[in-house]
Amino acid sequence: MADAKSADLTIEIGEMIVENFEYRDDSWLGISLVATFFKGSEECSGYQYFDDGSFEAGGVSNFGEFLDKLLELRDHMDQNGEGAFVQCLIHITKPDYALRIQYEHENPERWWPSGPSADMSAFAELLRPQNM
């Protein structure tokens, strides 16, 4: 992060995720969330990953507040000369609750399923945190 405000917003985003009731169950080892902001739409999807290698779809229950915080970060980064991202990938991993956010500024489909499918395992694997 380029400045203290970006760092503070990033920490707030991480706290919003781990304090969310969907993630209060201690059994997960990693969380991936993808947020996309493109042509006026706002979307978010993600997964929880478990120690047995399985995964489960999950999001955030406070969706509006979460997206508002991401938009605040996005706007701040844009005003700071870093550019407005169209997509971001958020990883949180245990045991230390490490938070990593990657930004995509051009391709709003970088972290998106390649096509409609009932089996989303390939997409879940694409998003899986590598440091679990």
Q: What is the pLDDT of residue 60?
A: 81
Mean pLDDT score of the chain, rounded to an integer? 89
Which stretch of 40-44, 72-76, 89-93, 115-119 has the lowest confidence by average pLDDT?
115-119
Which stretch of 9-13, 37-41, 118-122 has the lowest confidence by average pLDDT?
118-122
Q: What is the pLDDT of residue 1?
A: 46
| Position 123 in a domain | yes
Tally the domains of the chain. 1
Provide the pLDDT confidence category of residue 115 given band limits of 50, 70 and 90: low
| Position 8 in a domain | yes
| Position 77 in a domain | yes
| Position 51 in a domain | yes
Q: What is the pLDDT of residue 41?
A: 87
| Position 118 in a domain | yes
What's the whole-model pTM score?
Answer: 0.90
| Position 132 in a domain | no
Q: What is the pLDDT of residue 116?
A: 64
CATH of the domain at 95: 3.30.500.20
Domain that holds residue 112: 4-127
> Residue 53: left if φ>0, alpha if ψ -120 to 50, beta else—which one?
left
- pLDDT digit string, tens, across residues 2-27: 689 999 999 999 999 988 867 777 78
